[in-house]
Amino acid sequence: MQTNGQPPRISKGVLWLGYVLSGLPALLLVFSAVIKLMKPPQVVEGFAHFGIPESLIFKLGILELSCTVVYLIPSTSILGAVLLTGYLGGATITNVRLGESFLLPVIAGVLVWGGLYLRDHRVRALIPLRRKQAGDD
- Per-residue pLDDT of 36-62, as tens digits, reads 999 999 999 999 999 999 999 999 999
Domain that holds residue 80: 21-126
Is the separation of the CB atoms in 111 and 81 below 8 Å?
A: no
The whole-number pLDDT of residue 39 equals 96
**Structural domains of the chain, count:** 1
- Cα gap 24→110, rounded to integer Å: 11
Is the separation of the CB atoms in 114 and 128 below 8 Å?
A: no
Task: Let me know if residue 105 belongs to a domain.
Answer: yes
The whole-number pLDDT of residue 55 equals 96
Task: Let me know if residue 14 belongs to a domain.
Answer: no
Task: Let me know if residue 60 belongs to a domain.
Answer: yes
Burial class of residue 129 in the structure, from the number of CB atoms within 10 Å of its CB (0-12 exposed, 13-18 middle, 19+ buried): exposed
Q: Which residues contact 10 (CB under 8 A, 6 or more apart)?
A: 18, 118, 119, 121
